[in-house]
Chain A
Amino acid sequence: MDPAGTRPGAIRPDDHACGPLDGPPVVLYGDATCPRCQDATRFLRAAPVRLVWRHLVLRARGPRPRALAGALEAAARQDAFWPFLDRLLADPGRQDDPDLWALARELGLDVERFERDRRDEAATARIDADLADGLSAGASGTPAIVVAGGVDHGIPDEAWIQALLAERAT
C-alpha cells in the first residue's frame, strides 16, 4: 500500500473513492461526457474493487467535460459525488446546466452553493491536477484505468476483473 498516494494509481486520502475498502484499487481517469467512460464506470461501480474517479478533462473536447467535472467537485463538497455521478451516467442525454441544477435539487443539495463551488479556484485546481496526474500516469485517452499493473484504455469486463483479482492473490 502507499498511504501517501505517491505511486501512479495509488489512492490518496482526498480521492473520490467507493467500493469495498479491501478491494483492489482501480483509478479511473475519465470524462463524464465520454460514452466509454460512462460504460466503464457503470461496470466498475458494481465490481468488487476500490474505485477512484479522477478527471481527465481535455480542452479539445470543448466546455462540457470541464463543466461536468466542476459539478462533480461541487457535489463532492456536499458529500454527493457518487450519487451525482451515478445520476449523470444513468441519463447521459441530460448534461446541460439546467439539468445539473435539477439534479442538484433532486439530490437535496444547496443549489446556490453548488453553483458557486463548481466554478471556483479549488475545483479548477483539482481538475487541472487530476489531468496532470493522468498524463503522467500514461493516459492516452479516456477512460484511462490505472491499476497496480499499469494503465488500460479499454472498457473493463468480467474477465478483466477476474484477472485483476487473480493478480492480487498471487
Chain B
Amino acid sequence: MTWLVPLPVVMPLLGAALTLLLARRARAQRWVSIIVLTATVAVAAMLLVRSSLDGPLVVEVGGWAAPMGIVLVADQLAALMLVVSASVTLCVLVYSIGQGMADGNEETPLSVYHPTYLVLTAGVCNAFLSGDLFNLYVGFEILLVASYVLLTLGSTETRIRAGTTYVVVSLLSSLIFLVAIGLVYSATGTLNLAQLADRLDALPDDIRLVLQGMLLLAFGIKAAVFPLSAWLPDSYPTAPAPVTAVFAGLLTKVGVYAIIRTETLLFPGGRTADLLMVIAALTMVVGILGAVAQSDIKRLLSFTLVSHIGYMLFGVGLTTPLGLSAAIFYVVHHITIQTTLFLAAGLVERRGGSTALDRLGGLARLSPMLAVLFFVPALNLAGIPPFSGFLGKLGLVQAGVDDGGFLAWSLVAGGLLTSLLTLYAIARVWNLAFWRAPHADMPEPGDADRAARTDGAEQPHDGPAPAGAVLPRLMTVSTAALVVLGLALTVVAGPLFDISTDAADDLLRRAPYVEAVFPEGPP
C-alpha cells in the first residue's frame, strides 16, 4: 500500500499543471480541481486506515535508500492531518467555485486561482508527509509561495499592503528555517528526521538547545505564536473569503504540526516545555484580548485563531501522552471550525455587504440559514458542551490538572479564561450582527442583482462582495457541509480521541517512526 503515500503530493501538482493548461476553460478547471481534491481525500482516508492498522508507511522517493534519498512517512499523525486538511480544502474549493459562479466571472483573469490552490494543497500535504528536514522546508516554500499569490489575488491596494507584510515576515521565517537546517546538517551530517532523532541525542546540550531554539523560532512565526503573531490579523482578513478560510484552517496548523514533530521526534525530553507553556498562555490571553477589541468579524476571527493556537501549544508543552493527544484532537477540531467560521463570515459579507459590526444587524431575521451556519461553529469554537471544542478543551484541562505543576495550573486557568472571553467575543458578534434590529440601510436580497441590471455595471469579481446578494446555493451548501463535519467530530469524538491517543503514544515513544524508516536501526 506504500504507493499511496506520494499521491497526496503528486495528484494536486499534476492537477495544477492540468488546470493551468485549461486556463481558458473555467468549467473544465473546476471539474479537474474537484476530482483531484476528492481523490486526495480518499487517498488520505486510506492512508489513515493503513497507518492505524500496520504502523507508519514509508516511501523512499525515487528508490534512493533512506539516509541519502528523501523519505515520505505517513504515520498516524500525518495521515490524520492529511484527512482533515484535504476535506477542508475540498469544501473551501466548492465554496469558492460557488462564489465565482455567482459573481459570473467565467472569463476573468482569475484562471490562476485553481492551479495556485492545488499547489497550496500539494505543499501542505508535502509538509505533513515529509520525513526529511529539507523536504519539510520545500513543502513550506511550496505552500507559502502559493499563499503569496492567493493573498494578493487581484492586487488591489489593501491586498498589496497586507501582502507585503505577510511576504516579508514569511520570507524571514523561511530564512531562519534554512539557517537552522544548515546548522543541523553541519552538526549531525544528516537531515533525515529518523536519523536525526538518533544523532541529535549524541550532541552536547548547548548545541541541541540552539538548534531547537532556531527551529522553534521558524515554526513559531508560521504558527503565529504570540510574540511572533502580529502579522496574522493584519494580513489574513484582506484576502477573499475562501482564501482567508483555507489559510486560517491550514497554514498555521502546518506550523503547529512542525512544532509537534520537533518537540517529540527530534528533541524529546521537554527542555523547552516550560518556555512553550509560558508562550502558550501568552498566546491564548493576548490573542483573545485582541479579539475582544475588534469591530470587524474577519479581524476578530483572526485574533481568535491566534489565541487558540495557544491551546495546541499547551498540550505540546505538557509532554504527557494525554496532553499531546488532546493537542492533536484540538488541531483537528480547530482546522475545521476556524475554516467554517471564516466561510460563514464570507457569507455575512455577501448578505450584509460588510463584516464591520457597526454596519450589520438583524441577520438572524433576514437570513435564518446564515444565522445557524454561524451560530453552531461559533459555540463550538467557544467550547460549549457537547461540541468538539468542549471535548478538546476538557482533554487539555484534564492533562493540565494531572500534571499539577504551577505552570500547568496557570495554563488551565488561562485556558478557561480564554474560553470564556471567546464566548464573549462571539456573543458580541451574535448580538450586533444577528440579533439586534436590522439597519434601515441593510440591503435586501437581490438588491445587487437589480442594481447591476439597471446600471449595466460590471460586477467586481473579487472586491467587496455585492451587498445584498442572494446567498448562492453552492456556497451555503459547502459551508453547511463543514458545519456538519464539525458536528461529526463531536459524534465520532471517541474513536477520534483513540486515534489521537495512539498517534501521541507513537510520537512520544519515537521508536515506531524510526523503525519504520530504518528497519535495521539508523546507520
A, B: real partners: no
Task: List chain B positions with a Cβ less than 8 A from chain A.
Answer: none
Task: List chain A positions with a Cβ less than 8 A from chain B.
Answer: none
